[in-house]
Amino acid sequence: MEKIIRVWDKTEQVLVVILIGFASYLTFQEVVLRYVFNTGWSGSYEITIMSLIWCTFIGASLGIKENIHIGVDVLVVKFDPKTQRIIMTVSIALCFLFGIIVAIKGFEFAKFIGHSHLMSRDLRIPMEIGYLAIPVGGVLICLRFIERLVYVLKGESFEIDRMHELSEEDKEKLVQTPDD
């Protein structure tokens, strides 16, 4: 199971890098074409937008994995570990529900767009390709919260804590105040 999760993690990371890189390249190319050669390719705008949309939804899942989304635990840390686990479980369940809603409603919307036979203006590709990022993102979010729930129920931390990788000297530097 751990191997599958590592492959999934790496796949998301690679996709995000490729999508951002490709969007950046197309944007740079378009600037050069417009300002240096006084021409351009309108399809690059559509590809850039679709790349960034997909990157956003895949990145949301990756953000959950890396624990970089905003969280407020000021109140939670004041409770005992058992209560903290209950609060985290309820929080994960609510986030999972959010992922389900995003996946279902996103799929319904992409299906509606597909039945409308909408095509992109310049590339003439089906618009549901871009909108399918919403349900895919919702499913990825659900899977990430299932992963988190397993960690919490096993009593493990899902937090990415790299403090243990630091030397004692580096840890002291991080916690020192400017007056020290």
State the total domains in the chain.
1
Q: For residue 121, what are the β-bridge partners?
A: none
pTM: 0.77
* pLDDT per residue as tens digits for the range 39-61: 888 888 899 999 999 999 999 99
Query: Nearest CA to 43 among 21, 56, 26, 28?
Result: 26
Residue 64 falls inside a structural domain: yes
Structural domain including 23 reads 2-158
Token pair listed for 46:
């559509």
Given a contact cutoff of 8 angstroms between Cβ atoms, the answer to whether 141 and 61 are in contact is yes
Going by C-beta distance under 8 Å and a sequence separation of 6 or more, which residues neighbour residue 26? 44, 47, 48, 51
Given a contact cutoff of 8 angstroms between Cβ atoms, the answer to whether 60 and 98 are in contact is no
Residue 166 falls inside a structural domain: no
Residue 176 falls inside a structural domain: no
Residue 33 falls inside a structural domain: yes
Residue 174 falls inside a structural domain: no
Residue 97 falls inside a structural domain: yes
* pLDDT per residue as tens digits for the range 100-141: 999 999 999 999 999 999 888 888 889 988 899 999 999 999
Residue 56 falls inside a structural domain: yes
Going by C-beta distance under 8 Å and a sequence separation of 6 or more, which residues neighbour residue 50? 129, 130, 133
